Amino acid sequence: MDISIFFLLLCLLQTLSLSSSNTLDTLRGTSLSVEKPSDKLVSENGEFSAGFFPVGDNAFCFAILLNKSSTPTVVWMANRDEPVNGRGSVLSIFADGQLILTNSLGIAIWTTKAADLTSLEVTNLQLQLQNTGNLVLHNSKGIVIWQSFDSPSDSLLPQQALTMMSSLISRKSQDDYSSGNYKLFFDNDNVLRLLFQGPTMSSLYWPDPWLTDPGQAGRSMYNTSRLALLHDLGYFESSDNFQFNATDFGVVTHRRLTLDPDGNLRLYSLQKMNGSWDWVVTWQAFSDPCRIHGICGPNSLCSYDPVSGRRCTCLQGFKLKDQTDWSYGCEPEFSIPCNHTDESSFVQLARAEFYGSDMFFHQNVTFQFCQEQCLNRCDCNGFQYNYNEGSGYYNCYPKYLLMSGHQSPNFVGDFYLRLPKAGLFYSKIPDDEFKLQCSANLSKQIIRTYENKTVKLLLWFATAVGGMEVTCVLLVWLFLLRTSKHPNPDPTSQGYLLTTKFKRFTFDELRKATRGFKEVIGRGAGGTVYKGVLPDQRVAAIKRLDEANQGEAEFLAEVSTIGMLNHMYLIEMWGYCAEGKHKLLVYEYMEHGSLAENISSNALDWKKRFEIAVGTAKGLAYLHEECLEWVLHCDVKPQNILLDSNFQPKVADFGLSKLVSRSMNDHSSFSRMRGTRGYMAPEWIYNLPITSKVDVYSYGIVLLEMVTGKSPSGIHTSDSGETREHKRLVTLVKEYINIGTATRKSWIEEIIDPMMFGKYDKVKMELLVKVALQCVAEDRDERPSMNQVVEMLIGHED
């Protein structure tokens, strides 16, 4: 029995490997599988390929790529919003003329419409990738049953028509291929338009929306054929009379018309530059990107400078709503009491304009009148007051929403923002506008985990009745199940994870690097740290995790996230090793060891201590807020703050606690207590939700320790032998301050670390103590954020 199955499998394996080792342009009645990189169609001219494309860690989409550009360009995607995982997923041609993409559970993720069997013969089906980049499913008579050109993603290729049935939808970001907020389509009036479809609103922005008649933009509403086409030589024409020529019109090359993630429609040409082929913009719909709606979200201002590019800022009194996505805009930090008309006032925003959302509109009115109109309405958030040159008077537009705001030196008119009287004193946070910059690079991780094999098995047996095709796939899966019992040491199996700087090491390499794990330089949460010399002679700190029961997929997911974090005040991770139960992390090595080891030596004068305080705060602020992934450290203490040769701090051991994303920082994922006694915030003890404020608390204790030289856990304390609780350190400091204030004596002298021998900047050390005491507030809402800590410390320097 076993043997007969084995032979059956063997013979199936052979047929499968025959049919799938093709790099042909045509697939006949079989399937393409995600495990085999060679399982792809290549167009006859070798320029396009169709196959599974990695979009994240173990996440794949079926895509068509143009291979000629220096990095392959995705021109089409089947399942852009639902990637499948890297084992068992297949694209198959079904006998009824459907293409079906199934995931590892055998569930259809993406399908084409079934062919009309009454009028079509569906024998001898062939899937062919043509030289134009069109993937076509046709029957033996060459009749097209389905083609990718009919359902574009975010790009049109030459000869690919945009019709009333199709549209282009931008991707989320340069690295995130899922559907974004912008759409190019034929509107109900036959005009080709661009639409912003945001989380809270949508609005048309091209052609210019203030032109009430499309005719003013040269568009026609009368041709109902709704057809747009890009020609090979760079000429684009649409049935609404819109047309343009590429700047390199006439040149024969590859082109694509793409609706980019920033909402701009651009035509690209492939041009040879210094030996490599790269995309060059040869036409774009907008030269001023701030005129694209929704780009900065509500309650914000967009400004554009050709040199520095586009910039979003929150309005005065508003704060960024979602740190990961500007399209959510900003939210007010105040509320306007509505019936007290005298309690709000207006702030002028020169040369600023907000589009749409007018409550009403008044011609030729005074500023006073316009202001009163706004004050009379609870829902008025400000008004536009513009001089109209043609008519010679001012117009007034009170607004109930502040959308698509932009500021430009060419705009004639000002906006008056309504704020509560007290709101006039809101200070702007200077670096607010830059906070999101890293999101462009650090796109959200897409991870597909492997499904539970028992469930998979049952499902497969339920579907296995379905003939040859299914049996073949089953075979692949059984085969994989067997091989997957042995951890796959092939580093390319997780290839997408690897970047140039961040690499996967083998266990052997690391054993050699550490000379058999000889030199221990530290023991910390979850593992032991060894000193080692890598094959390229770099000195590294190698952390060997205690036998973690974490699965490989989760481990890799976390490691790849940590590996992407990059900041001058964070320790740099060079790589990792994951082989069965061996899980190791490779970090840069710090000559000066940790703050803990140096804190009680006179090596650290007040200047260094202050710099360490600022640097540590910056590193933690980056972990908490600046990038997409929100990482809580959960174990901030002097042992985890390492010092480089210039005594600049680098925060270590971050990311080993669970990574939480802002949207799901639900405290149930923190069932286990973390951290170190003496540095732990009260939330851990009282079982309250765990937020970034636990790190703020620990940081506050570290500050007190740096100023006083006294350890909260009593290990390094110079006091009498008894162990000191952190409460007592905090209480101690507070007591000295109270006594000092009462007797008008300097309290800092009483508490400062005697190792400084009285040489210190009184103002700075007092500042550290003041900030520290705010950080260790019992109520986490009273503690500042790490960003605010940085501002308090730096703000003082100026």
Ligand X SMILES: *[C@@H]1O[C@H](CO)[C@@H](O)[C@H](O)[C@H]1NC(C)=O
Annotated binding site for ATP: 543
Question: For ligand X, which is the closer residue by CB, 407 or 443?
Answer: 443
Both tokens of 479, joined, read 């085969």
Nearer to ligand X by Cβ, of 229 and 773: the residue is 229
CB of 272 or CB of 745, closer to ligand X: 272
**Residue 597, interface with ligand X (CB under 6 A)?**
yes
User: Least distance in Å: CB of 49 to ligand X?
Assistant: 5
Which residues make up each annotated binding site? 543
Cβ distance 730 to 704 under 8 Å?
A: yes
Among 15, 38, 123, 243, binds ligand X (CB under 6 A): 243
CB 27 within 8 A of CB 9: no
**Geometric angle at alpha carbon 117, from 112 and 118, rounded to 5°:** 145
Touching ligand X, residues 21-60 (CB under 6 A): 46, 49
The interface mask with ligand X, positions 253-282, x = CB under 6 A, is --------------------xx--------
* Strand bridging mode 59-66 / 84-85: antiparallel
The nearer residue to ligand X, 430 or 593, going by C-beta atoms, is 593
Question: How many whole angstroms separate alpha carbon 10 and alpha carbon 433?
Answer: 61
Q: How far is the CB of 237 from ligand X (least distance, A)?
A: 6
- Cα–Cα distance list, 412 to 385, 415, 767 (Å): 10, 10, 46
Q: Exactly one of 635, 653, 695, 753 is catalytic; name it.
A: 635
User: Closest separation between CB of residue 533 and ligand X, Å?
Assistant: 18
Binding mask 359-398 for ligand X (x = CB under 6 A): -----x--------------------------xxx-----
Residue with smaller CB distance to ligand X, 392 or 516: 392
Interface characters, 54-73, with ligand X (x: CB under 6 A) = -------------x----x-
Nearer to ligand X, 6 or 222 (CB): 222
The nearest distance, CB 474 to ligand X, in angstroms, is: 19
Helix, strand, coil distribution of the chain in percent, nearest 5 = 30, 25, 45
3-state secondary structure of 560: helix
Q: Which of 132, 151, 209, 244 binds ligand X (CB under 6 A)?
A: 244
Distance CA 370, CA 380 (A): 11
Least CB distance to ligand X at residue 636 (A): 19
Residue span binding ligand X (CB under 6 A) among the ranges 11-19, 554-562, 597-605, 698-706:
597-605
- Hey, is 416 helix, strand or coil? strand
Active-site residue flag, 635: yes
Number of Cβ within 10 Å of residue 602's Cβ equals: 12
Alpha-carbon distance of 506 to 512, in angstroms, equals: 10
Q: How far is the CB of 759 from ligand X (least distance, A)?
A: 16
Q: Give the C-alpha separation, 560 to 552, whole Å.
A: 12
Residues 295-354 that bind ligand X (CB under 6 A): 339
CB of 100 vs ligand X, minimal distance in Å: 25
Nearer Cβ to ligand X (12/571): 571
Residues 146-205 that bind ligand X (CB under 6 A): none
Q: Which is nearer to ligand X, 187 or 597 (CB)?
A: 597
Q: Give the containing element (helix H, strand E) for 704.
A: helix 693-708
Residue 267 pairs with which residues in a beta bridge? 257, 283
Q: Distance between alpha carbon 588 and the CA centroid of its chain, in Å?
A: 25
Biggest CA pair distance of the chain:
101
Residues 118/32, Cβ–Cβ less than 8 Å: no
- Strands laid side by side in the 135-138 sheet: 26-28, 126-129, 135-138, 144-147
Least distance in angstroms from the C-beta of 593 to ligand X: 3
Q: Which of 173, 598, 600, 713 binds ligand X (CB under 6 A)?
A: 598
Q: Which of 311, 592, 734, 796 binds ligand X (CB under 6 A)?
A: 592
- Closest approach of Cβ 148 to ligand X, in Å? 18
Contact 228/161 with Cβ under 8 angstroms?
yes
- Cβ(259)–Cβ(154) below 8 Å: yes
Backbone torsions φ then ψ of 246, nearest 5 degrees: -65, 155
Task: For residue 315, give the nearest of 339, 297, 340 by alpha carbon.
Answer: 297
Closest C-alpha among 709, 663, 126 to residue 444: 663
Distance CA(243)–CA(223), nearest Å, equals 14
Q: Which two tokens stand for residue 298?
A: 């509500």
Residue 100 sits at the vertex; the CA angle it makes with 98 and 102, to the nearest 5 degrees, is 165
Planar angle of CA 83, 87, 90, nearest 5 degrees: 65
Q: CA-CA distance, 400 to 414, in Å (whole number)? A: 16
* Interactions with ligand X, residue window 200-229 (CB under 6 A): 223, 225, 227
Q: Which span sits near ligand X by CB under 6 A: 105-113, 118-126, 590-598, 623-631?
A: 590-598
Residue 437's Cβ-side half-sphere holds a number of Cα atoms within 13 Å equal to 11
Shortest Å, Cβ 407 to ligand X: 22
Distance between terminal CA atoms of the chain? 82
Figure out which of the listed residues 167, 179, 245, 550 binds ligand X, where binding follows CB under 6 A: 245
Contact assessment for residue 541 and residue 590, using Cβ atoms and an 8 Å cutoff: yes
250, with CB counted inside 10 A (0-12, 13-18, 19+), is exposed
- Closest distance between ligand X and the C-beta of residue 595, in Å? 9
Q: Which residue from 218, 430, 593, 795 is in contact with ligand X, where contact means CB under 6 A? A: 593
Tokens at residue 297, please?
Answer: 């979200």
506 binds ligand X (CB under 6 A): no
**Dihedral (CA of 542, 544, 545, 548) sign:** positive
112 vs 173 by CB, closer to ligand X: 173
The count of chain residues that interact with ligand X, using the rule CB under 6 A, is: 34
Determine if residue 769 is left, alpha or beta; phi over 0 gives left, psi from -120 to 50 gives alpha, anything else beta. alpha
Closest to ligand X by CB, 256 or 693: 256
- Tally DSSP H helices, then E strands, for the chain: 14, 44
The interface with ligand X within residues 417-476 (CB under 6 A) comprises 437-438, 440-441, 452, 454-455
Q: Write the CA distances from 417 to 224, 349, 382, integer angstroms.
A: 44, 7, 4
Site residues, ligand X (CB under 6 A): 46, 49, 67, 72, 223, 225, 227, 235, 237, 239, 243-245, 249, 273-274, 339, 364, 391-393, 437-438, 440-441, 452, 454-455, 592-593, 597-598, 601, 603
Give catalytic residues, as residue numbers: 635
